[in-house]
Chain A
Amino acid sequence: MIELVEVSRTVASGAGPLTILQPTSFRIESGATVAITGPSGSGKSTLLGLIAGLDAPSSGRVLLDGVDITALGEEALARLRGEKVGIVFQFFHLLPSLTARENILVPMEIAGVRDAAARASRLLDDVGLAERGHHYPSQLSGGEQQRVAIARALANDPPILLADEPTGNLDSATGRQVIDLLVAVNRARGCTLVLVTHDPALAARADEVIALRDGRVVDRHRPAGADAGGADAPAPPPVTAESRP
């Protein structure tokens, strides 16, 4: 479960302090798929960074499975990310000097997973790249790189999967494949999926949409196709959100 309590983020700018995220509270239950939408500069990526422990809030607390990550130091946060959080970026961010397989191996090696090699093969297979494991990122297309990035994010089977504009750098057909993959993963593994996206198609696949504007939650709703996950899909858990200026 992800819980934000009065979380805000203010940064210094030339004209003085600039609040890019107003105090915000919400809770995302385990297994939910949530899309965070909004125009550029609305605070979407900031929110994602705070949930991932990549950034520290100016105020408030972020709790992952009951653990207050705002109280953790950098090293503890790194360990927590390795165990509990998988992240997928818009620009993939694969390590260019490592092959696709090695990129997937990295989080498992950091965590000291034993059967990492076999698991990496399975993950490559899961994302449809079983034959491309020895290729370097520069030898893969954008869609393939993003699939490797998804496999890498899933390497340690994290209970939380965060994705920052995962289709933002892909053409529509490839983007659709990536959406299908993320949703399938979410359904199959039961992990919590938080997506930051501009893509209405992707947001429509979520259980809940949180819309931001100027650093505030301005809307939250269940998209029309929220139950289209299939008859055997688990019922979407409730999402409660609250934001105040």
Chain B
Amino acid sequence: MTFVARMAWREARTGAPRLLFFFLCVAIGVAAVVVLRSLMQTVRVTLTREARTFVGADVLLRSPVPWTSAERDLITRAFGEAGVGAEAELIQTQTMASAAPGQGSGVVRLVEVLAMGPGFPYYGTLELEDGRPWSHDLLAGHGVAVPPSFLVEMGLVVGDTLRLAGQDFTIRAAVVRDRLQQGGGFSFGPRIYVDVADLRRTTLLGFGSRATYQVAATVPPDRLDGLVDRLRDGLDRRASVRDWRTLEDRLGRNLTIGENYLSLVGFAIVVLGGIGVWSVTRVVVAQKVRSVAVLKCLGATSRQVLGIYLLQMLGLAGGGSLIGVGLAVAAAAVIPGRLVTPLGIEAVHVTASAAAQGVLVGVLVSTIFALVPLLEMQRVKPLLLLRAASSAGGGRHDRRTLVAWVVAAAALVGVAVWQAGSVRAGLYVTAGLAVVALALLGAGRALLAVTRPLARSPRFALRHAVVSLGRPGNQTRVILMAVGLGCFFTLSVRAVQGNLLHEFDAQIGGAAPDLVLIDIQPDQVDGVSRVVAPYVAHPVRLVPLLRGRVSAVQGRRLQLAGPDAVREHRRLTREYGLTYRLGLEDNERVTAGRFWSAPVGTGGGSDGNAAGLGPGVDTEVSIAQDVHDEAEVDLGDLIRFDVAGQPLTARVTSIRDVAWDDAQNGGFVFVLRPSPAVDRAPQSFVGFVAGGTDASARGALQRDLVRTYPNVSVIDVREVLQSVRDVVANVTLGVTIVGAVTLAGGVLILVGAVAMTKFQRLYEAAIYRTLGASTRLIATLVAIEYGLLGGLAGLLGAAGAFGLSWALARYLFHITWAPGPGALAAGAGLTALVVCVVGVLASVDVLIRKPLSTLRSE
């Protein structure tokens, strides 16, 4: 072993308390990196392994409209040529479900119906509550399978009868789990399973219904690509073709982004630990100055001295990183299942690659943060052993130190870029951290200045506590930064959550509509109004809804001859919900042209004459400002829509600015002027009604409506918002845990900082005692010092959270900002209390140690 290695070991051997703190700083950050990265890797492995079970087949074709006979022929030919093994038809739709008369609790519930042909799913299975294997026979002859929670909600059991669209289905099984990804991951209600032939016998697939028509098939692997390409080329552009491998790719990309994002969160925590390492190293350097001078006196070169402490630090960082991996394993074992099940996994397993990355990040960040203070050792002059005044050559930074700063900063950016998997994200995060850290440092300094007058207080304990905050070698700024950052993180998340939930409550409060009736057919409009009327204070507001796509544009700036040109243009490709009416909504404002006030053919149009629209033009259309600005559609242009297969041509006569975030009025990109052609277009109506707060009245309204009009579905916005609340609560819980880890890291750094400066405190306490101070007085002094520190950290964190929640509410979520000063004040107060208690507890031996032993050892 070389001299440097031997000395590094000897130095490390006797520095146990310091090591503990160093270990903690590194370990917490590394544990965060390892757990978060492992979480995402576990999700990735599980999801990509099971990608085929999410599709349930090798290939899945979907269309928002029934397949035409030409499409059917194409599919049959393509399947035949590709040697498709099995195929099944699927239909997905929504409807209201109720129990048969005399059964259940009388609840009516919107459900997502997945109608499946025999054999599906080909991969994966539906797990039943009673342990039986899944069989399509369970659905045959008007059978239905439902989730257990749905049974509880409806007060039903397996064997009872469920009524869907006026037809009775026997509940044959309770499905506890399936893997099928349908409907983009969001549904308005629980998923129930029926046979596709039975669904066809109901009225659910009538005109205007919202259903997705699907064909699933198994394909030999070597034919899959060819089949997918052929179907994509041949099928209508509304149809989508996806296979399990494209899903795997998409999942993979999304998960990589997620993994890198979470790794950055972990990196931020590592940096926090790094700040702790920097602080420890500074203290160690200060304590080791004499030893360094001795070594230099004995012939050791500066390089050897730096080598000793760098090697020691690397060993500690490696050890701390390994402890971090151990912590991560322990943490992964106790992560609550309900936190990770929404991600499709049952538990988090620490992966080898995450552990390796964690260790590497831990060692790198520790090195980066320790290097600059360690370089100070090179400046220690051995002469200080003879003359104490000649210490490390002054406080000015020499060129070598500056170079070290630059190299360290560049290395830190490098690690961030590596962890983020993106140069931009890495730079942003490093810059963000630097800004936050500098802001906290600056704010800490300012706040210390504010408290300085207290040093003239007549109260002894207060006076000395304030003086202690600024003692030489104090850890005040480090503690402020570490605890303040954790507090800021946690309170910000809570504040944003509070604002979101406040907004939800505002949306469903008062007379705002909270029940949405969909798929009302034109001939049911009056009947629905009559059924609803007894239950509500205000009549139902009915909005006509046409579903259409832009198939051509003839304009001044934009010429799109047909669907292919529209697809290439890319700005107008999606399916739009169109409506028609005679006036503007409250959240709309015309910015150009003129909005009509009468239907076509009765005057009051923009040109005052329907005949003036031009030949082949069916009506007028008002477009949203975005369409004008981004898609380059102008006043006077002609737009051809394809409304459920029926063409409709409209001239643009006005442009509207729409406040999209107005939840009550919603918004339409295209609003048509009523005209005979518009009346003839396939359409349904959507009803908006305020159902009141009485749950039983809301239930009765839904029940009556479903009995009279089985095809009409009711979306209870209160329930949807509750689901959103649940999602927000889960996300908040997750992020709060990250915040709590940060805060815990901050508190540990606090404990370490107390330990680091303990030798000084012990000496001071001994002198205070010799001068007559009681234990109580010293305890008060310590409590005030940490109370002030915690109060400042809490104040900093709360102020940051206050600002961030305002910025997010205003610029990201576009919601009304609710400051919530009570919660922030409570958070700041709690932080002060925690820091005070931890500070006093960590200083217990300062309070109980006999002064003589301390003075003697000095």
**Which A positions have Cβ atoms within 8 angstroms of B?**
45-46, 48-49, 52, 54-55, 74-75, 78-83, 87, 89, 91, 93-98, 102, 106-107, 109-112, 136, 138, 152, 156, 164
Contacts and interface: CB of A to CB of B under 8 A. Distances in A.
Contacts of B383: 49, 54-55
Contacts of B294: 93-95
B3 interface: yes
Contacts of A81: 296-299, 382
Interface string B293-308: 1111111111110000
Given A74-B302, A109-B6, 12 more contacts: A45-B386, A49-B387, A54-B382, A78-B302, A79-B299, A81-B299, A82-B300, A91-B385, A93-B293, A97-B10, A106-B300, A110-B3
Interface string B1-45: 001001100110111000000000000000000000000000000
Contacts of B387: 45-46, 49
A94 B298 CA distance: 11
A58 to B, nearest CB: 14
Given A54-B381, A55-B383, A95-B291, A82 B10 contact: no
A98 B8 CA distance: 11
Contacts of B3: 106, 109-110, 112
B738 to A, nearest CB: 38
Interface centre among A55, A78, A97, A164 (most CB of B within 10 A): A78
A106 B382 contact: no
A177 B1 CA distance: 36
Given A54-B381, A97-B15, A78 B301 contact: yes
A128 to B, nearest CB: 22
A107 B14 contact: no
Contact of B291 (A55, A96, A164): A96
Contact of A87 (B7, B14, B297): B297
Contacts of A94: 294
Interface centre among A83, A106, A136 (most CB of B within 10 A): A106
A156 B11 CA distance: 22
B463 interface: no
Interface in B268-308: 290-291, 293-304
B774 interface: no
Interface centre among A95, A152, A164 (most CB of B within 10 A): A95
B301 A75 contact: yes
B816 interface: no
Contact of A107 (B11, B298, B385, B390): B298
B386 A48 contact: yes
A79 B14 CA distance: 27
Q: How large is the interface on B (under 10, 10 to 19, 20 to 34, 35 or more residues)?
A: 20 to 34
A89 B386 contact: yes
B568 to A, nearest CB: 70
Nearest to A91: B385
Contacts, number: 88
A164 B302 CA distance: 23
Nearest to A111: B299
Contact of A54 (B14, B291, B386): B386
Contact of A97 (B11, B304, B857): B11
B293 to A, nearest CB: 8
Given A93-B294, A97-B291, A109-B3, A164 B299 contact: no
Nearest to A165: B386
A11 B290 CA distance: 22
B298 A98 contact: no
Contacts of B293: 93
Interface in B377-396: 381-383, 385-387, 390
B10 A98 contact: yes
A95 B294 CA distance: 7
A112 B2 CA distance: 9
Given A81-B297, A110-B3, A110-B304, A55 B390 contact: yes
A87 B390 CA distance: 18
A82 B385 contact: no
A168 B249 CA distance: 78
B385 A93 contact: yes
Interface string B373-414: 000000001110111001000000000000000000000000
Given A45-B387, A49-B386, A55-B390, A79 B301 contact: yes
Interface centre among A81, A138, A152 (most CB of B within 10 A): A81
Contacts of B386: 45-46, 48-49, 54-55, 89, 164
B302 A75 contact: yes
A82 B298 contact: yes
A164 B386 CA distance: 8
Contacts of A96: 14, 291
Nearest to B384: A54
A89 B390 CA distance: 16
Rank and list the top 6 A-B pairs by shortest CB-CB distance, nearest first. A82-B299, A97-B14, A109-B3, A54-B383, A107-B298, A75-B301
Contacts of A48: 386
Contacts of B10: 97-98, 102
Interface centre among B3, B14, B301, B386 (most CB of A within 10 A): B386
B299 A78 contact: yes
A107 B301 contact: no
Contact of B290 (A93, A112, A164): A93
Nearest to A116: B3
29 contacts: A45-B387, A46-B386, A46-B387, A49-B383, A54-B383, A55-B381, A55-B383, A55-B390, A78-B300, A78-B301, A81-B298, A82-B298, A87-B385, A89-B385, A91-B385, A93-B294, A93-B297, A95-B294, A97-B10, A97-B11, A97-B13, A97-B15, A97-B291, A106-B7, A107-B299, A109-B7, A110-B298, A110-B299, A110-B300
Contacts of A55: 381, 383, 386, 390
Nearest to A44: B386
A87 B386 CA distance: 11
Contacts of A95: 291, 294-295
B194 to A, nearest CB: 77
Contacts of A106: 3, 7, 295, 298, 300
B136 to A, nearest CB: 75
A83 to B, nearest CB: 7
Contacts of A98: 10
A98 B297 CA distance: 16
B408 to A, nearest CB: 24
B625 to A, nearest CB: 72
Contacts of A83: 299
Contacts of A45: 386-387
Nearest to A94: B294
A101 to B, nearest CB: 11
Nearest to A89: B385
B268 to A, nearest CB: 34
A210 B302 CA distance: 34
Contacts of B301: 74-75, 78-79
A97 B14 CA distance: 6
Interface centre among B290, B291, B299, B304 (most CB of A within 10 A): B299
Interface centre among A94, A98, A152 (most CB of B within 10 A): A98
Contacts of A91: 385
A84 to B, nearest CB: 9
Contacts of B6: 109
A172 to B, nearest CB: 22
Contacts of A82: 298-300
Nearest to A138: B857
A73 to B, nearest CB: 10
Nearest to A156: B299
Interface in B336-390: 381-383, 385-387, 390
Interface string B117-159: 0000000000000000000000000000000000000000000
Given A93-B385, A97-B11, A98-B10, A54 B297 contact: yes
Nearest to B287: A96
A213 B303 CA distance: 38
A159 B387 CA distance: 24
Nearest to B14: A97
